A and B are shown apart, each in its own frame.
Chain A
Amino acid sequence: MRRLADIDPPHETALEPLASLADGRRGFSGVIAELQDRPAAGGLAAGELERRLLEMGFVEGARVEILHEGFIGRDPICVRLDDMRVALRRRDARGVLVRPDPVRPGPAR
């Protein structure tokens, strides 16, 4: 169902460019648009990291938000993934491409 507000105003339809979850800072939020298999280096079978992320719930359409960052090098990160919390390292989050929520002035949700 489309609401009236969804249809027209240009500032709402202009999509934010995709960003990797690995580069997000605390407070970064959005919807997972694409999941790619991007292991940091060798060692894992092709598609393995992607399947593990999927099994943990990192799936297209899921909402993510970075809640916490580690105290050394801001790594690992703790994300809210729909209604659960998951910790992961940034290098494993590389393939999680997120459509960031539009940054809007006004009170945060």
Chain B
Amino acid sequence: MSDTLDVAPARAGAAAARPLRVALVGNPNSGKTAMFNALTGSRQKVANYAGVTVERKEGQLVAASGRTVVVLDLPGTYSLRARSPDEVVTRDAVLGRLAGETPPDVVICVADATNLRLVLRLALELKAVGRPCVLALNMIDIAQRQGLEIDTDRLSRELSMPVVGTVATRRRGVETLVAEVEAQAAEAAGAGAGPSAWREPSATEIRALHREAERILKAAVRPPKRPDTWTGRLDGVLLHPVAGVLILLAVLFLMFQAVFTGAKPIMDLITAGFDQLSLIVGHLLPDGMLKSLICDGVIAGVGSVVVFLPQIMILFLFIILLEDVGYMARAAFLLDRIMGGAGLHGRAFIPLLSSFACAIPGIMATRVIDNRRDRLTTILVAPLMTCSARIPVYTLIISAFIPQRTVWGVLSLQGLVFFGLYAAGLVSALLVAWVVRKIFWRGAAEPFLMELPTYKVPDPMNVARNVLQRGQIFLQRAGTIILSMMILIWFLSTVPGKPAGAVGPAINYSLAGMIGHAIEPVLAPVGFSWQMSVALIPGMAAREVAVGALATVYSVAGEGGGEAVLGSSLAAHWSLASALAFLAWYVFAPQCASTLGVVKRETNSWRWPIIMFAYMTALAYAAAFVTYHVALALGGG
């Protein structure tokens, strides 16, 4: 660090001590995420921008020169003219207008070398901002394979910025890129990047930029000798009105079957592991409160959540693969009309599909929808999509109450019920969206304009890294929120202890018992016992907590711990009608405080989370009520 102000460019030594700040800008699908990973490796920090919930990804690297470089990944965009909150962040960060953000010293514009037209216009826009820029000509491997000839010197001269060919997924060209960034920073040092004179371009100006981009493209790039023909051929099938839809349904169905049956062996292994651990620890500890806390509270609680990690990883494997292959945009194309019919934007498919994993990233992904109303509708229905936190609850109840039978020769009945629950969430989300549009607003929807990227063979390392990252995020939640909830539940259901000479299980006398008994009258008409009511309270923290809660409630109540026992324990205590009502409840209930919190942050008002809580609770109660009474009438008592 320097103790003098570095006012003159001559004091390069002082400037070098300060970390260099770099921002990544680029079109969607240009490989920006891969580039960010290539640059920063695992030294990444994911947070949110102050005041808004756009994900802020920052990472660090040390350049060959020894200088620290801080890389900021910005949301993908086609233009600096911001139309969604994401793009506002990109624009303001580049312009240095973002409160609490140091403006970047250098902007790296990530370009897909095989698809330069639009990014050249973006690069021209960036150049007009006046900050030093470097163009990363990414996917240069694909360009070479296609025999695409790019005159990088010419490109560099025309754009008056350095151009570096890169393969982000293989880290090729990354060192050169960093060196160019440093050179640009050194050149600009002392020039004093003042406030930028950028303003929104008019339609005429965009046309002019287009012409300029077109001219540069003609001058510097010769069309590929072996253009990609796969994309056209695959689209012929995958976007076919009949075949394409069937394939889409098959892909989705395969995903659910894989999640449900594919993860089984690993899950059994994890269950056995935690049982063993509980046993070993139980032998080491003396009887009493501590042993109970560790075995029944901590180990059983964490175990019953960790066990679902395989399913979550498989689900994310599918989502990330579909995204990286380029199929996600096709699915959005195929589903646009259905989504549009429900008053949703075609792009809403992506947040909603993410909501299958978790409503929180899903709700955050609604920022890709420009129009506020379309966004709010999507946010309101996103928690109806079956998130992975419901999987533990569904799995538990289904395996305890639905016989393991095969129907129509190949399909497992359990898998079918599971699929039915997913479908119920999806259909109700579409219905609610339709109603929201009718009640809250009637207006024109946002335009639906989406680039369909070329198909790519996904990079296994890239996929593995992203899947692991998701798993890690889930585990962190499991490790923090859920563990503390487990201990709280253990506490609630153990304290105060059973008075001497009292009859019945100890939990009857605990705090949890009291709460459960208190809300039981409200839930009795839908067939919920007080134990079920107890499970709903901690289930507010996160849906999967309900499983741990049931485990704690029932293991404290009698038969001893263990995930395996829980199912049969439930089967003994609940009627089939109650179990089905519980499932129906979980399709709709807003059993997730984090979701409500994120909605509050995204919409910046308590109005929407309150509306969400009210309508979801009402739906859950109605669905459970109907399910319970229909099941009773059919003899499921």
Contacts and interface: CB of A to CB of B under 8 A. Distances in A.
A88 B83 contact: no
Contacts of A85: 231, 235, 451-452, 454
B242 A71 contact: yes
Contact of B239 (A51, A54, A78): A78
Contact of B78 (A55, A70, A87, A88): A55
A47 interface: yes
A68 B235 contact: yes
A18 B332 CA distance: 30
A21 to B, nearest CB: 12
Contacts of A54: 203, 206-207, 210
A56 B83 CA distance: 13
Nearest to A76: B336
B142 interface: no
B337 A53 contact: no
B445 A70 contact: no
A42 B332 CA distance: 24
Contacts of B203: 37, 47, 50-51, 54
Contacts of A19: none
A86 interface: yes
B241 A69 contact: yes
A59 B242 contact: no
Contact of B244 (A52, A71, A76, A87): A71
A71 B340 CA distance: 13
Given A47-B203, A54-B206, A78-B235, A92 B447 contact: yes
B443 interface: yes
Interface residues of B, number: 47
Interface in A54-87: 54-57, 59-61, 67-73, 75-76, 78, 82-87
Contacts of B231: 85
A39 interface: yes
Interface string B206-227: 1100100010000000010001
Interface string A17-51: 00000000000000000000101111110010111
B444 A44 contact: yes
A69 B611 CA distance: 37
Contact of B371 (A43, A51, A53): A43
Contact of B451 (A56, A72, A76, A92): A56
A49 B371 CA distance: 12
Contacts of A82: 117
A36 to B, nearest CB: 10
A88 B447 CA distance: 8
A56 B214 CA distance: 14
B59 interface: no
B443 A43 contact: yes
Contacts of A86: 449-452
Contacts of A49: 447
Contact of B447 (A42, A44, A61): A44
A99 to B, nearest CB: 17
A68 B223 CA distance: 24
Contacts of B448: 76, 87-89, 92
A78 B333 contact: yes
Given A41-B443, A56-B449, A78-B452, A71 B245 contact: yes
B79 A55 contact: yes
B346 interface: yes
A53 B334 CA distance: 21
A75 to B, nearest CB: 6
Interface string B482-501: 00000000000000000000
Contacts of B340: 89
B333 A87 contact: yes
B334 A71 contact: yes
Given A44-B447, A52-B449, A85-B231, A70 B336 contact: yes
B118 interface: yes
Contacts of B78: 55-56
Contacts of A52: 83, 447, 449
A57 B337 CA distance: 23
Contacts of B245: 71
Contacts of A41: 443-444
B447 A84 contact: no
A32 B206 CA distance: 16
B129 to A, nearest CB: 16
B122 to A, nearest CB: 9
B118 A56 contact: yes
B338 interface: yes
Interface string B103-119: 00000000000010110
B341 to A, nearest CB: 8
B118 A87 contact: no
16 contacts: A43-B371, A47-B203, A52-B449, A54-B206, A56-B449, A60-B207, A67-B232, A67-B235, A69-B241, A76-B336, A76-B346, A82-B117, A84-B451, A85-B454, A87-B333, A87-B450
Interface of A: 37, 39-44, 47, 49-57, 59-61, 67-73, 75-76, 78, 82-89, 92
The 3 closest A-B CB pairs, nearest first, are A43-B444, A71-B241, A41-B444
Given A44-B447, A68-B333, A72-B338, 12 more contacts: A37-B203, A39-B447, A42-B444, A44-B444, A47-B203, A55-B81, A70-B334, A76-B337, A86-B450, A86-B451, A88-B450, A92-B448
